[in-house]
Every structure is written in structure tokens, then in C-alpha cells.
Amino acid sequence: MPFFAILFDLDGTLTDPKPGITGCIQYALSELGYKPPNADELNWCIGPTLKDSFSQLLNTLDSTVIQQAILLYRRRFATIGLFENSLYSQILEVLKAIRFADYKTFVATSKPYIYATQIIEYFSLSLLFDGVYGSELDGTRSRKGDLIHHILLTEKLLPSSVVMVGDRSHDIIGAKRYHITSIGVTYGYGTEEELKAHGADFIAHSPSDIPKLIIRK
């Protein structure tokens, strides 16, 4: 069956959010009295949920401590970190080409919906997407598989007609859980090894590779 809808991860796929995410993590850790790692040592935090990242960074499963770290992160992210972000080159052209070829497009991010919509609007991408889907602030649908399932049900999409595009293992794992074709991108924060190890169906080394893998001639 030809593809009908394309789900795009946000961080590391559409935009490079490193300055904002790492800066907010450093802020949260400092406020809690910890010496934060430098930004490059926090690249692995781009993609996973904040709950998972802070659990590892603080070496704790204490939900109260983790939630405190998340609230501190969001204190800075909501006003500053949100906009310490940049659109990957070629992404605008890629989205236009896919839309021109009559595919439906959706943002599928573990980031809270309230922030994802602001970022999409900030980069003037709203008209290039049929919908933006993210998690809730309480963590609901922060797992990529849960989010994908929600999108499939809400948009009444057949898994066989959908492609998930993302840069980390959880994008691929979530797609495979619902038998969706996946494209792993290596220009973000996941490696080709990571993406292939979790079963990515295709690999895109640059944004311009994405339409070549999707659009049927």
C-alpha cells in the first residue's frame, strides 16, 4: 500500500534544540545543587523523556526529586529554552515537497504539546502540518509508542499507510510496536548503529534523503 501520512519527530529531526535542552538541564541541576555536565555530555538527553533523563542524571527513582527537576527545567524552558533552537537546513523544502505530493503530515513528539505547537508556530511551519501531537505536561503519551497509537486512532490512519521519521531509538521502537514503516535520520542525535539496531527500515543521512524514500514516482 502506498504511504498516506508521515509522522515527524521534532527534536533532532525538524529542529536542532541542543542549546535550549542542555541549557535547561544545566539550570535545573544547578538549582538542585549539582554541578552540571557540559552541553556536549548531555547530547544523549535529546530525545528521551525528561523523566528518564533526570532519573539517570540524578541517579534516582524518587519521583518527587525527578518532578522537582522537571519543574525547574520547565521554568527556564517555557520562556528562554523554547527558542534556543534552530531549523535544520533543507527541512522547509522537504516539508513543502512532501505536502506538494499530497501526503498528510503530522508532528509526533514526546515534548509537551503546549511547547511543540509554539515551536512549530515560531518557525512558521503550521501550514505545512495537518496536526501537531505531543505529550501532556503530566507525562501522558510521553512514550513514543503511546503517542503513535493516539495519532493512529485520532486521525483514523492505517499503520500500513504511515511512516515515522525520527532520529532516536524510541522513534523506531514506537513505530515497530504498531507495524509502521520507520525512517531513521542520522543528522540528529542518534547514530546509524542505534537506529539500525532497533530496526529502522530506512536511513536518511540528510533531510533531502527523506522525500526520496517516501514519494512514489
Backbone angles phi, psi at 191, to 5 degrees: -90, 160
d(CA 143, CA 157): 19
- Catalytic residue from among 9, 11, 16, 209: 9
Give me the sheet containing 202-204, strands edge to edge.
131-135, 104-112, 5-8, 162-166, 181-185, 202-204
Strands 181-185 and 162-166: parallel
- Give the 3-state secondary structure of residue 52: helix
Does the active-site annotation cover 201? no
Rounded to an integer, what distance in angstroms lies between the CA atom of residue 48 and that of residue 14? 16
Q: Which set of grid coordinates corresponds to residue 142?
A: 510521553
- Residue by residue, DSSP assigns 139-198 as -TT-SHHHHHHHHHHHHT--GGGEEEEESSHHHHHHHHHTT-EEEEESSSSS-HHHHHHT
135, β-bridge pairs: 112
Secondary structure (3-state) at 203: strand
Task: Name the residues annotated as catalytic.
Answer: 9
